[in-house]
Chain A
Protein backbone atom coordinates (compact mmCIF):
# COMPACT_ATOMS: atom_id res chain seq x y z
CA UNK A 1 0.00 0.00 0.00
CA UNK A 2 2.87 2.34 0.68
CA UNK A 3 4.04 2.11 -2.91
CA UNK A 4 0.79 3.50 -4.16
CA UNK A 5 1.05 6.40 -1.73
CA UNK A 6 4.63 7.14 -2.60
CA UNK A 7 4.02 6.85 -6.33
CA UNK A 8 1.66 9.77 -5.91
CA UNK A 9 3.87 11.60 -3.47
CA UNK A 10 4.39 15.14 -4.74
CA UNK A 11 8.17 14.99 -4.62
CA UNK A 12 8.29 11.51 -6.15
CA UNK A 13 5.95 12.55 -8.95
CA UNK A 14 7.95 15.70 -9.57
CA UNK A 15 11.25 13.87 -9.73
CA UNK A 16 10.13 11.11 -12.08
CA UNK A 17 7.66 13.18 -14.02
CA UNK A 18 5.17 10.32 -13.83
CA UNK A 19 2.39 9.33 -11.54
CA UNK A 20 0.11 6.36 -11.46
CA UNK A 21 -3.30 7.96 -11.44
CA UNK A 22 -5.72 5.45 -12.84
CA UNK A 23 -9.11 3.80 -12.49
CA UNK A 24 -8.17 2.41 -9.07
CA UNK A 25 -6.99 5.70 -7.59
CA UNK A 26 -9.13 6.66 -4.59
CA UNK A 27 -9.69 10.34 -3.87
CA UNK A 28 -11.27 11.66 -0.67
CA UNK A 29 -13.12 14.88 -1.48
CA UNK A 30 -14.05 17.63 1.00
CA UNK A 31 -16.41 20.54 0.32
CA UNK A 32 -17.09 23.39 2.78
CA UNK A 33 -17.43 26.47 0.56
CA UNK A 34 -20.90 27.56 1.66
CA UNK A 35 -23.54 25.95 3.86
CA UNK A 36 -23.08 22.28 3.02
CA UNK A 37 -20.49 20.18 4.82
CA UNK A 38 -19.66 17.33 2.48
CA UNK A 39 -17.20 14.48 2.05
CA UNK A 40 -17.06 11.77 -0.59
CA UNK A 41 -14.93 8.89 -1.76
CA UNK A 42 -14.54 8.55 -5.52
CA UNK A 43 -12.48 5.92 -7.34
CA UNK A 44 -11.01 6.49 -10.76
CA UNK A 45 -12.63 9.91 -11.14
CA UNK A 46 -16.19 8.75 -11.74
CA UNK A 47 -16.96 5.79 -9.50
CA UNK A 48 -18.70 7.40 -6.51
CA UNK A 49 -18.16 5.00 -3.59
CA UNK A 50 -19.88 7.38 -1.18
CA UNK A 51 -21.14 10.94 -1.00
CA UNK A 52 -22.20 12.43 2.32
CA UNK A 53 -23.76 15.90 2.49
CA UNK A 54 -24.74 17.48 5.81
CA UNK A 55 -26.85 20.54 5.07
CA UNK A 56 -26.98 23.44 7.50
CA UNK A 57 -30.24 24.68 5.95
CA UNK A 58 -32.11 24.76 9.25
CA UNK A 59 -29.45 26.87 10.92
CA UNK A 60 -29.60 29.55 8.23
CA UNK A 61 -33.30 29.42 7.30
CA UNK A 62 -34.34 31.85 10.04
CA UNK A 63 -32.00 34.46 8.55
CA UNK A 64 -33.23 33.87 4.99
CA UNK A 65 -29.67 33.33 3.82
CA UNK A 66 -26.28 31.95 4.76
CA UNK A 67 -24.60 33.54 7.79
CA UNK A 68 -20.84 33.11 7.27
CA UNK A 69 -19.84 32.75 10.92
CA UNK A 70 -22.59 30.23 11.61
CA UNK A 71 -21.53 28.25 8.53
CA UNK A 72 -17.88 28.15 9.59
CA UNK A 73 -18.75 27.03 13.10
CA UNK A 74 -20.95 24.23 11.82
CA UNK A 75 -18.30 23.04 9.34
CA UNK A 76 -15.59 22.59 11.95
CA UNK A 77 -18.03 20.82 14.26
CA UNK A 78 -19.45 18.28 11.85
CA UNK A 79 -16.71 17.74 9.25
CA UNK A 80 -14.95 14.95 11.24
CA UNK A 81 -18.17 12.95 11.41
CA UNK A 82 -18.98 13.60 7.74
CA UNK A 83 -15.52 12.42 6.63
CA UNK A 84 -15.71 9.34 8.85
CA UNK A 85 -19.12 8.50 7.45
CA UNK A 86 -17.98 8.89 3.85
CA UNK A 87 -15.21 6.33 4.46
CA UNK A 88 -17.53 4.02 6.33
CA UNK A 89 -20.11 4.07 3.54
CA UNK A 90 -17.36 3.49 0.97
CA UNK A 91 -16.28 0.61 3.19
CA UNK A 92 -12.63 1.62 3.20
CA UNK A 93 -10.14 2.56 5.88
CA UNK A 94 -8.66 6.06 5.70
CA UNK A 95 -5.26 4.50 4.95
CA UNK A 96 -6.62 3.40 1.54
CA UNK A 97 -7.00 7.02 0.42
CA UNK A 98 -4.58 7.89 -2.42
CA UNK A 99 -5.15 11.66 -2.49
CA UNK A 100 -7.24 14.30 -0.74
CA UNK A 101 -9.06 17.02 -2.69
CA UNK A 102 -10.80 20.06 -1.22
CA UNK A 103 -12.54 23.15 -2.54
CA UNK A 104 -10.15 26.12 -2.35
CA UNK A 105 -12.62 28.64 -3.84
CA UNK A 106 -14.74 30.45 -4.64
CA UNK A 107 -16.87 30.67 -1.51
CA UNK A 108 -16.91 32.03 2.03
CA UNK A 109 -13.29 32.33 3.10
CA UNK A 110 -13.76 31.20 6.70
CA UNK A 111 -15.82 28.22 5.58
CA UNK A 112 -13.36 27.24 2.84
CA UNK A 113 -10.44 27.30 5.28
CA UNK A 114 -12.02 24.59 7.45
CA UNK A 115 -12.09 22.11 4.56
CA UNK A 116 -8.72 23.15 3.16
CA UNK A 117 -7.06 22.80 6.58
CA UNK A 118 -8.61 19.39 7.23
CA UNK A 119 -7.72 18.15 3.73
CA UNK A 120 -4.11 19.32 3.90
CA UNK A 121 -3.65 17.77 7.36
CA UNK A 122 -5.15 14.47 6.20
CA UNK A 123 -2.89 14.41 3.13
CA UNK A 124 0.16 15.20 5.28
CA UNK A 125 -0.64 12.49 7.83
CA UNK A 126 -1.22 9.89 5.09
CA UNK A 127 1.72 11.08 2.96
CA UNK A 128 -0.46 11.44 -0.13
CA UNK A 129 -1.02 14.44 -2.43
CA UNK A 130 -3.37 17.30 -1.68
CA UNK A 131 -5.30 18.78 -4.60
CA UNK A 132 -7.02 22.14 -4.40
CA UNK A 133 -10.17 22.22 -6.50
CA UNK A 134 -12.10 25.10 -8.06
CA UNK A 135 -15.71 24.74 -6.92
CA UNK A 136 -17.08 25.97 -10.25
CA UNK A 137 -15.02 23.48 -12.23
CA UNK A 138 -16.22 20.75 -9.86
CA UNK A 139 -19.86 21.47 -10.78
CA UNK A 140 -18.98 20.47 -14.34
CA UNK A 141 -17.51 17.19 -13.13
CA UNK A 142 -20.79 16.49 -11.35
CA UNK A 143 -22.38 16.46 -14.82
CA UNK A 144 -19.61 14.26 -16.22
CA UNK A 145 -19.84 11.64 -13.44
CA UNK A 146 -22.43 9.74 -15.47
CA UNK A 147 -21.07 10.78 -18.88
CA UNK A 148 -17.26 10.73 -18.59
CA UNK A 149 -16.91 10.33 -22.35
CA UNK A 150 -19.00 13.35 -23.34
CA UNK A 151 -17.40 15.02 -26.35
CA UNK A 152 -15.68 18.38 -26.58
CA UNK A 153 -16.15 21.18 -27.41
CA UNK A 154 -18.56 21.43 -24.55
CA UNK A 155 -20.78 24.25 -23.37
CA UNK A 156 -20.92 24.18 -19.59
CA UNK A 157 -23.91 26.03 -18.17
CA UNK A 158 -23.43 26.74 -14.46
CA UNK A 159 -26.56 28.07 -12.78
CA UNK A 160 -26.59 28.39 -9.01
CA UNK A 161 -27.25 30.77 -6.14
CA UNK A 162 -23.93 32.49 -6.67
CA UNK A 163 -23.19 32.03 -10.35
CA UNK A 164 -24.67 32.09 -13.83
CA UNK A 165 -21.97 31.25 -16.33
CA UNK A 166 -21.78 29.99 -19.89
CA UNK A 167 -18.39 28.36 -20.31
CA UNK A 168 -16.69 27.05 -23.43
CA UNK A 169 -14.58 23.97 -22.76
CA UNK A 170 -12.35 22.60 -25.49
CA UNK A 171 -10.61 20.08 -23.20
CA UNK A 172 -10.47 19.13 -19.52
CA UNK A 173 -8.18 21.98 -18.59
CA UNK A 174 -9.31 24.66 -21.01
CA UNK A 175 -12.07 27.04 -19.95
CA UNK A 176 -13.34 30.29 -21.37
CA UNK A 177 -16.28 32.17 -19.89
CA UNK A 178 -18.34 33.37 -22.87
CA UNK A 179 -21.45 34.57 -21.09
CA UNK A 180 -22.56 35.49 -17.60
CA UNK A 181 -25.12 37.39 -15.60
CA UNK A 182 -24.61 41.11 -15.38
CA UNK A 183 -26.55 41.30 -12.11
CA UNK A 184 -28.32 38.58 -10.09
CA UNK A 185 -27.37 34.93 -10.39
CA UNK A 186 -30.23 32.68 -11.51
CA UNK A 187 -30.51 31.02 -8.10
CA UNK A 188 -30.39 34.38 -6.38
CA UNK A 189 -33.39 35.52 -8.47
CA UNK A 190 -35.24 32.36 -7.43
CA UNK A 191 -34.43 33.02 -3.76
CA UNK A 192 -35.45 36.66 -3.88
CA UNK A 193 -38.73 36.04 -5.71
CA UNK A 194 -39.55 33.11 -3.41
CA UNK A 195 -38.95 35.28 -0.38
CA UNK A 196 -41.12 38.03 -1.84
CA UNK A 197 -43.92 35.50 -2.46
CA UNK A 198 -43.59 34.19 1.10
CA UNK A 199 -42.42 30.75 -0.08
CA UNK A 200 -39.95 28.72 1.94
CA UNK A 201 -36.16 28.97 1.88
CA UNK A 202 -34.29 27.93 -0.25
CA UNK A 203 -36.29 29.48 -3.06
CA UNK A 204 -35.42 27.21 -5.98
CA UNK A 205 -37.26 24.06 -4.89
CA UNK A 206 -40.11 26.18 -3.47
CA UNK A 207 -40.73 27.90 -6.82
CA UNK A 208 -40.36 24.60 -8.67
CA UNK A 209 -43.10 23.08 -6.47
CA UNK A 210 -45.41 26.11 -6.55
CA UNK A 211 -45.05 26.42 -10.33
CA UNK A 212 -46.49 22.94 -10.89
CA UNK A 213 -49.82 24.29 -9.60
CA UNK A 214 -49.72 27.56 -11.54
CA UNK A 215 -50.17 28.73 -15.14
CA UNK A 216 -46.98 29.98 -16.73
CA UNK A 217 -48.88 32.31 -19.07
CA UNK A 218 -50.85 33.99 -16.28
CA UNK A 219 -48.43 36.89 -15.80
CA UNK A 220 -46.66 38.53 -18.70
CA UNK A 221 -43.04 39.08 -17.72
CA UNK A 222 -40.04 40.45 -19.63
CA UNK A 223 -37.19 38.32 -20.98
CA UNK A 224 -34.03 40.39 -20.99
CA UNK A 225 -32.10 39.25 -24.04
CA UNK A 226 -29.52 42.05 -23.86
CA UNK A 227 -29.29 42.61 -27.63
CA UNK A 228 -28.73 38.92 -28.05
CA UNK A 229 -25.17 38.63 -26.81
CA UNK A 230 -24.45 35.78 -24.44
CA UNK A 231 -24.79 37.69 -21.17
CA UNK A 232 -27.97 37.43 -19.13
CA UNK A 233 -29.80 39.65 -16.63
CA UNK A 234 -32.39 38.68 -14.04
CA UNK A 235 -32.66 41.87 -12.03
CA UNK A 236 -35.32 43.43 -14.30
CA UNK A 237 -37.37 40.25 -14.23
CA UNK A 238 -37.28 40.17 -10.43
CA UNK A 239 -38.39 43.83 -10.30
CA UNK A 240 -41.19 43.14 -12.79
CA UNK A 241 -42.48 40.31 -10.59
CA UNK A 242 -42.44 42.54 -7.51
CA UNK A 243 -44.18 45.41 -9.31
CA UNK A 244 -46.81 43.10 -10.76
CA UNK A 245 -47.65 41.52 -7.39
CA UNK A 246 -47.84 44.94 -5.71
CA UNK A 247 -50.25 46.15 -8.42
CA UNK A 248 -52.26 42.89 -8.34
CA UNK A 249 -52.27 41.75 -4.72
CA UNK A 250 -54.92 39.12 -5.42
CA UNK A 251 -52.80 37.17 -7.92
CA UNK A 252 -52.11 33.53 -7.08
CA UNK A 253 -48.51 32.97 -6.03
CA UNK A 254 -48.55 29.69 -7.98
CA UNK A 255 -49.29 31.62 -11.19
CA UNK A 256 -46.53 34.11 -10.42
CA UNK A 257 -44.07 31.32 -9.62
CA UNK A 258 -44.90 29.47 -12.84
CA UNK A 259 -44.65 32.61 -14.98
CA UNK A 260 -41.40 33.69 -13.35
CA UNK A 261 -39.85 30.24 -13.71
CA UNK A 262 -40.89 30.08 -17.38
CA UNK A 263 -39.24 33.46 -18.03
CA UNK A 264 -35.96 32.40 -16.37
CA UNK A 265 -35.90 29.11 -18.27
CA UNK A 266 -36.71 30.85 -21.58
CA UNK A 267 -33.75 33.19 -21.14
CA UNK A 268 -31.36 30.41 -20.10
CA UNK A 269 -32.37 28.06 -22.89
CA UNK A 270 -32.23 30.81 -25.52
CA UNK A 271 -28.74 31.91 -24.48
CA UNK A 272 -27.55 28.32 -24.18
CA UNK A 273 -28.65 27.44 -27.73
CA UNK A 274 -27.05 30.57 -29.07
CA UNK A 275 -23.77 29.89 -27.25
CA UNK A 276 -23.76 26.23 -28.30
CA UNK A 277 -24.15 27.21 -31.95
CA UNK A 278 -21.40 29.78 -31.64
CA UNK A 279 -18.79 27.33 -30.30
CA UNK A 280 -20.01 24.33 -32.34
CA UNK A 281 -20.65 22.43 -29.13
CA UNK A 282 -20.97 18.66 -29.21
CA UNK A 283 -22.22 18.63 -25.65
CA UNK A 284 -24.15 20.91 -23.33
CA UNK A 285 -23.49 20.13 -19.65
CA UNK A 286 -25.52 21.66 -16.83
CA UNK A 287 -24.40 22.21 -13.25
CA UNK A 288 -25.34 24.07 -10.06
CA UNK A 289 -28.42 24.08 -7.87
CA UNK A 290 -30.71 25.62 -10.52
CA UNK A 291 -29.87 22.67 -12.80
CA UNK A 292 -32.14 20.66 -10.49
CA UNK A 293 -35.12 22.72 -11.69
CA UNK A 294 -37.63 20.44 -13.46
CA UNK A 295 -38.62 22.86 -16.19
CA UNK A 296 -35.03 23.82 -17.00
CA UNK A 297 -34.07 20.14 -17.27
CA UNK A 298 -36.93 19.24 -19.61
CA UNK A 299 -36.56 22.38 -21.79
CA UNK A 300 -32.77 21.93 -22.12
CA UNK A 301 -33.25 18.31 -23.11
CA UNK A 302 -35.81 19.32 -25.74
CA UNK A 303 -33.53 22.04 -27.09
CA UNK A 304 -30.64 19.59 -27.35
CA UNK A 305 -32.80 17.14 -29.27
CA UNK A 306 -33.95 19.87 -31.64
CA UNK A 307 -30.39 21.09 -32.25
CA UNK A 308 -28.72 17.64 -32.37
CA UNK A 309 -26.48 18.32 -29.36
CA UNK A 310 -26.24 15.89 -26.47
CA UNK A 311 -27.32 17.39 -23.15
CA UNK A 312 -25.73 16.11 -19.96
CA UNK A 313 -27.66 16.60 -16.74
CA UNK A 314 -26.27 15.68 -13.34
CA UNK A 315 -28.57 13.76 -11.04
CA UNK A 316 -30.47 16.15 -8.77
CA UNK A 317 -28.30 15.44 -5.71
CA UNK A 318 -25.20 16.13 -7.81
CA UNK A 319 -26.56 19.55 -8.91
CA UNK A 320 -26.36 21.01 -5.44
CA UNK A 321 -23.07 21.25 -3.57
CA UNK A 322 -21.46 17.90 -2.77
CA UNK A 323 -17.98 16.45 -2.39
CA UNK A 324 -18.18 13.72 -5.04
CA UNK A 325 -17.75 16.42 -7.67
CA UNK A 326 -14.74 17.77 -5.73
CA UNK A 327 -13.10 14.34 -5.59
CA UNK A 328 -13.84 13.81 -9.28
CA UNK A 329 -12.41 17.19 -10.34
CA UNK A 330 -9.43 16.42 -8.08
CA UNK A 331 -8.82 13.12 -9.86
CA UNK A 332 -8.73 14.83 -13.27
CA UNK A 333 -6.26 17.39 -11.94
CA UNK A 334 -4.09 14.68 -10.40
CA UNK A 335 -4.09 12.78 -13.66
CA UNK A 336 -2.61 15.89 -15.28
CA UNK A 337 0.05 15.90 -12.55
CA UNK A 338 -1.41 18.91 -10.76
CA UNK A 339 -0.66 18.59 -7.07
CA UNK A 340 -1.23 21.55 -4.75
CA UNK A 341 1.46 22.61 -2.28
CA UNK A 342 0.72 22.36 1.45
CA UNK A 343 1.10 26.11 1.93
CA UNK A 344 -2.07 26.66 -0.10
CA UNK A 345 -4.87 28.71 1.41
CA UNK A 346 -8.35 29.55 0.19
CA UNK A 347 -9.28 31.99 -2.55
CA UNK A 348 -12.83 33.29 -1.96
CA UNK A 349 -12.90 34.95 -5.40
CA UNK A 350 -11.32 32.16 -7.46
CA UNK A 351 -12.37 32.38 -11.10
CA UNK A 352 -12.90 29.61 -13.61
CA UNK A 353 -9.80 28.96 -15.66
CA UNK A 354 -7.58 30.81 -13.22
CA UNK A 355 -4.69 29.07 -11.49
CA UNK A 356 -5.28 27.39 -8.17
CA UNK A 357 -3.85 30.12 -6.04
Chain B
Protein backbone atom coordinates (compact mmCIF):
# COMPACT_ATOMS: atom_id res chain seq x y z
CA UNK B 1 0.00 0.00 0.00
CA UNK B 2 1.43 3.35 -1.08
CA UNK B 3 0.87 6.23 1.34
CA UNK B 4 1.71 9.91 0.83
CA UNK B 5 2.63 11.59 4.12
CA UNK B 6 2.48 15.35 4.76
CA UNK B 7 3.77 17.26 7.78
CA UNK B 8 3.48 21.05 8.00
CA UNK B 9 2.55 21.34 11.68
CA UNK B 10 5.91 22.68 12.83
CA UNK B 11 8.67 24.86 11.41
CA UNK B 12 10.00 21.77 9.57
CA UNK B 13 7.92 20.92 6.52
CA UNK B 14 8.23 17.36 5.21
CA UNK B 15 6.68 15.10 2.60
CA UNK B 16 7.22 11.36 2.15
CA UNK B 17 5.92 8.46 0.11
CA UNK B 18 6.05 5.00 1.65
CA UNK B 19 5.23 1.62 0.20
CA UNK B 20 4.30 -0.56 3.16
CA UNK B 21 7.16 -0.09 5.60
CA UNK B 22 9.61 1.12 2.94
CA UNK B 23 10.23 4.83 2.42
CA UNK B 24 10.32 5.41 -1.35
CA UNK B 25 11.13 9.13 -1.22
CA UNK B 26 11.08 11.95 1.27
CA UNK B 27 12.04 15.56 1.57
CA UNK B 28 12.16 18.13 4.33
CA UNK B 29 12.72 21.83 4.54
CA UNK B 30 13.00 24.33 7.35
CA UNK B 31 10.10 26.67 6.52
CA UNK B 32 9.23 29.16 9.17
CA UNK B 33 6.38 31.01 7.53
CA UNK B 34 6.21 29.62 4.03
CA UNK B 35 4.40 26.34 4.60
CA UNK B 36 1.80 26.92 1.89
CA UNK B 37 4.39 28.11 -0.64
CA UNK B 38 6.70 25.14 0.01
CA UNK B 39 4.29 22.25 0.46
CA UNK B 40 2.66 21.86 -2.97
CA UNK B 41 5.93 21.83 -4.98
CA UNK B 42 7.40 19.41 -2.41
CA UNK B 43 4.48 17.00 -2.82
CA UNK B 44 4.96 17.17 -6.59
CA UNK B 45 8.71 16.57 -6.26
CA UNK B 46 8.49 13.66 -3.79
CA UNK B 47 5.81 11.80 -5.74
CA UNK B 48 7.92 12.17 -8.89
CA UNK B 49 11.08 11.03 -7.12
CA UNK B 50 9.22 7.97 -5.86
CA UNK B 51 8.66 7.19 -9.53
CA UNK B 52 4.92 7.41 -9.16
CA UNK B 53 1.95 9.22 -10.59
CA UNK B 54 -0.75 10.61 -8.31
CA UNK B 55 -3.13 7.94 -9.54
CA UNK B 56 -0.90 5.28 -7.96
CA UNK B 57 -1.28 6.61 -4.41
CA UNK B 58 -3.48 4.49 -2.13
CA UNK B 59 -3.88 6.88 0.79
CA UNK B 60 -2.90 10.28 2.16
CA UNK B 61 -1.72 10.87 5.73
CA UNK B 62 -1.25 14.19 7.47
CA UNK B 63 0.09 15.52 10.78
CA UNK B 64 -2.98 17.15 12.37
CA UNK B 65 -1.06 18.89 15.15
CA UNK B 66 -0.31 20.03 17.76
CA UNK B 67 1.87 22.84 16.48
CA UNK B 68 1.54 25.98 14.40
CA UNK B 69 -2.13 26.62 13.67
CA UNK B 70 -1.66 28.04 10.19
CA UNK B 71 0.88 25.36 9.31
CA UNK B 72 -1.43 22.57 10.48
CA UNK B 73 -4.24 23.96 8.37
CA UNK B 74 -2.07 24.20 5.26
CA UNK B 75 -1.27 20.49 5.61
CA UNK B 76 -4.80 19.42 6.47
CA UNK B 77 -6.42 21.49 3.70
CA UNK B 78 -3.93 20.10 1.17
CA UNK B 79 -4.30 16.50 2.35
CA UNK B 80 -8.10 16.71 2.37
CA UNK B 81 -8.06 18.09 -1.18
CA UNK B 82 -5.61 15.45 -2.46
CA UNK B 83 -7.61 12.59 -0.93
CA UNK B 84 -10.85 13.98 -2.37
CA UNK B 85 -9.47 14.63 -5.86
CA UNK B 86 -7.90 11.15 -5.96
CA UNK B 87 -10.82 9.38 -4.21
CA UNK B 88 -8.52 7.70 -1.67
CA UNK B 89 -8.62 7.45 2.15
CA UNK B 90 -7.21 10.14 4.42
CA UNK B 91 -5.61 9.43 7.82
CA UNK B 92 -4.82 12.05 10.46
CA UNK B 93 -1.83 11.37 12.72
CA UNK B 94 -0.97 13.40 15.79
CA UNK B 95 2.50 14.92 15.65
CA UNK B 96 3.49 13.81 19.16
CA UNK B 97 2.88 10.22 18.15
CA UNK B 98 4.89 10.75 14.97
CA UNK B 99 7.71 12.20 17.03
CA UNK B 100 7.80 9.35 19.57
CA UNK B 101 7.71 6.73 16.82
CA UNK B 102 10.98 8.12 15.48
CA UNK B 103 12.83 7.29 18.70
CA UNK B 104 15.30 4.46 18.02
CA UNK B 105 14.61 1.22 19.96
CA UNK B 106 18.04 1.42 21.62
CA UNK B 107 17.16 4.81 23.14
CA UNK B 108 13.59 3.86 23.98
CA UNK B 109 14.56 0.81 26.03
CA UNK B 110 16.76 2.96 28.30
CA UNK B 111 13.69 4.92 29.39
CA UNK B 112 10.53 4.24 31.34
CA UNK B 113 8.68 7.18 29.95
CA UNK B 114 9.14 9.11 26.71
CA UNK B 115 7.86 12.67 26.49
CA UNK B 116 7.64 14.14 22.98
CA UNK B 117 7.48 17.94 23.01
CA UNK B 118 6.34 20.41 20.36
CA UNK B 119 6.62 24.18 20.67
CA UNK B 120 3.13 25.67 21.05
CA UNK B 121 4.37 29.31 20.91
CA UNK B 122 3.45 31.92 23.56
CA UNK B 123 6.02 30.28 25.85
CA UNK B 124 3.99 27.09 25.94
CA UNK B 125 4.65 23.50 24.97
CA UNK B 126 2.50 20.58 23.83
CA UNK B 127 3.42 17.14 25.12
CA UNK B 128 2.14 13.64 25.77
CA UNK B 129 3.29 10.88 28.13
CA UNK B 130 4.33 7.53 26.71
CA UNK B 131 5.24 4.55 28.85
CA UNK B 132 7.85 2.07 27.69
CA UNK B 133 7.53 -1.64 28.35
CA UNK B 134 10.06 -4.16 27.20
CA UNK B 135 8.48 -7.02 25.34
CA UNK B 136 9.71 -10.58 25.20
CA UNK B 137 10.70 -10.06 21.59
CA UNK B 138 13.18 -7.44 22.72
CA UNK B 139 11.36 -4.59 21.04
CA UNK B 140 10.32 -1.88 23.47
CA UNK B 141 6.57 -1.27 23.39
CA UNK B 142 5.72 2.41 23.64
CA UNK B 143 2.16 3.28 24.59
CA UNK B 144 0.51 6.60 25.21
CA UNK B 145 -0.66 7.41 28.73
CA UNK B 146 -3.41 10.04 28.87
CA UNK B 147 -4.20 12.73 26.32
CA UNK B 148 -1.88 15.32 24.76
CA UNK B 149 -1.52 18.44 26.91
CA UNK B 150 -0.50 22.03 26.41
CA UNK B 151 0.90 24.31 29.08
CA UNK B 152 3.89 26.17 30.44
CA UNK B 153 7.21 24.68 31.48
CA UNK B 154 5.98 24.29 35.07
CA UNK B 155 3.00 22.22 33.91
CA UNK B 156 5.27 19.96 31.88
CA UNK B 157 7.68 19.47 34.78
CA UNK B 158 4.85 18.78 37.22
CA UNK B 159 3.50 16.09 34.90
CA UNK B 160 6.93 14.45 34.66
CA UNK B 161 7.58 14.70 38.42
CA UNK B 162 4.33 12.90 39.06
CA UNK B 163 5.73 9.87 37.25
CA UNK B 164 9.25 9.96 38.71
CA UNK B 165 10.74 7.53 36.26
CA UNK B 166 13.61 7.44 33.80
CA UNK B 167 12.44 10.03 31.38
CA UNK B 168 13.48 10.60 27.78
CA UNK B 169 12.52 13.96 26.33
CA UNK B 170 12.38 14.34 22.57
CA UNK B 171 11.56 17.24 20.30
CA UNK B 172 13.21 20.52 19.47
CA UNK B 173 11.46 22.31 22.34
CA UNK B 174 12.95 20.01 24.99
CA UNK B 175 16.43 20.27 23.52
CA UNK B 176 16.28 24.06 23.43
CA UNK B 177 15.07 24.16 27.03
CA UNK B 178 17.34 21.38 28.25
CA UNK B 179 18.93 23.41 31.06
CA UNK B 180 15.60 24.69 32.29
CA UNK B 181 14.19 21.16 32.36
CA UNK B 182 17.24 19.72 34.13
CA UNK B 183 17.32 22.39 36.80
CA UNK B 184 13.55 22.33 37.17
CA UNK B 185 13.55 18.61 37.90
CA UNK B 186 16.49 18.79 40.32
CA UNK B 187 19.90 17.15 40.14
CA UNK B 188 19.34 13.61 41.42
CA UNK B 189 15.62 13.08 41.57
CA UNK B 190 15.33 11.97 37.98
CA UNK B 191 17.38 10.30 35.42
CA UNK B 192 16.71 12.45 32.41
CA UNK B 193 17.94 12.13 28.88
CA UNK B 194 17.29 13.99 25.67
CA UNK B 195 16.83 12.86 22.11
CA UNK B 196 19.24 14.08 19.47
CA UNK B 197 18.52 16.28 16.49
CA UNK B 198 17.14 13.34 14.50
CA UNK B 199 14.04 13.46 16.68
CA UNK B 200 13.61 17.23 16.85
CA UNK B 201 10.59 17.39 14.57
CA UNK B 202 7.74 15.12 13.59
CA UNK B 203 8.38 13.90 10.04
CA UNK B 204 6.11 12.90 7.17
CA UNK B 205 7.90 9.52 7.00
CA UNK B 206 6.58 8.62 10.44
CA UNK B 207 3.19 10.09 9.62
CA UNK B 208 2.92 7.88 6.53
CA UNK B 209 4.24 4.77 8.31
CA UNK B 210 1.82 5.17 11.24
CA UNK B 211 -1.03 5.70 8.79
CA UNK B 212 -0.03 2.59 6.86
CA UNK B 213 -0.06 0.55 10.06
CA UNK B 214 -3.49 1.87 10.88
CA UNK B 215 -4.85 1.30 7.38
CA UNK B 216 -3.86 -2.37 7.31
CA UNK B 217 -5.08 -3.10 10.83
CA UNK B 218 -8.18 -0.96 11.22
CA UNK B 219 -11.35 -1.13 9.30
CA UNK B 220 -11.12 2.37 7.79
CA UNK B 221 -14.60 3.30 6.75
CA UNK B 222 -13.99 5.17 3.54
CA UNK B 223 -15.42 8.69 3.79
CA UNK B 224 -17.13 10.08 0.70
CA UNK B 225 -15.63 13.47 1.61
CA UNK B 226 -12.27 12.90 3.35
CA UNK B 227 -11.82 15.06 6.46
CA UNK B 228 -9.61 15.11 9.53
CA UNK B 229 -9.83 17.16 12.72
CA UNK B 230 -7.00 19.50 13.66
CA UNK B 231 -5.52 18.97 17.13
CA UNK B 232 -5.31 22.56 18.38
CA UNK B 233 -5.31 21.87 22.15
CA UNK B 234 -6.30 25.53 22.63
CA UNK B 235 -9.47 27.52 22.06
CA UNK B 236 -9.46 30.07 19.27
CA UNK B 237 -8.26 33.46 20.30
CA UNK B 238 -11.47 35.45 20.16
CA UNK B 239 -9.85 38.82 20.49
CA UNK B 240 -11.39 41.01 17.89
CA UNK B 241 -8.77 42.70 15.86
CA UNK B 242 -10.39 45.19 13.54
CA UNK B 243 -7.00 46.10 12.19
CA UNK B 244 -6.62 42.70 10.54
CA UNK B 245 -10.12 42.74 9.11
CA UNK B 246 -9.20 43.68 5.60
CA UNK B 247 -11.26 41.46 3.35
CA UNK B 248 -13.85 42.88 0.99
Contacts and interface: CB of A to CB of B under 8 A. Distances in A.
Interface of A: 33-34, 63-70, 72-73, 75-77, 79-81, 83-84, 94, 106-111, 113-122, 124-127, 135-136, 139, 158, 160-163, 288-289, 321, 342-346, 348-349
Nearest to B8: A117
A80 B236 contact: no
Nearest to B47: A124
Interface in B192-248: 224-227, 229-230, 232, 236-242, 244-248
B37 A343 contact: yes
Contact of B82 (A77, A121, A162): A121
Contact of B247 (A70, A84, A162, A345): A162
A105 to B, nearest CB: 9
Contacts of A116: 36
Interface in B63-83: 69-70, 73-82
A79 B43 CA distance: 21
B230 A73 contact: yes
Contacts of A106: 246-248
Contacts of B54: 124-125, 127
B34 interface: yes
Summarize B's interface: helix, strand, loop or mixed: helix
A259 B241 CA distance: 29
Contacts of A158: 248
B236 A73 contact: yes
A321 B247 CA distance: 10
Contacts of A135: 247-248
A84 B241 contact: no
Interface string B19-36: 000000000000000111
Q: Is the interface of A mostly helix, strand, loop or mixed?
A: helix
Given A65-B242, A117-B40, A122-B85, A72 B70 contact: yes
Contacts of A289: 248
A108 B247 contact: yes
A332 to B, nearest CB: 18
Contacts of B227: 77, 80-81
B77 A121 contact: yes
A174 B123 CA distance: 48
Contacts of A139: 248
Contacts, number: 159
B40 A162 contact: no
Contacts of A160: 248
A91 B54 CA distance: 24
Interface of B: 34-41, 43-44, 54, 69-70, 73-82, 84-86, 224-227, 229-230, 232, 236-242, 244-248
Contacts of B240: 63-65, 67
Given A73-B230, A106-B247, A125-B54, A79 B37 contact: no
Contacts of B232: 73
Contact of A124 (B38, B40, B76, B80): B40
B36 A342 contact: no
A122 B43 CA distance: 12
A161 B247 CA distance: 7
Contacts of A109: 70
B69 to A, nearest CB: 7
Contacts of A118: 77-78, 80-81
Contact of B81 (A122, A161, A348): A122
A76 B65 CA distance: 13
B44 A342 contact: yes
A83 B82 CA distance: 12
A312 B73 CA distance: 38
B230 A120 contact: no
B13 to A, nearest CB: 12
Contacts of B224: 84
B246 A80 contact: no
A235 B82 CA distance: 46
Given A69-B237, A81-B225, A345-B36, A117 B81 contact: yes
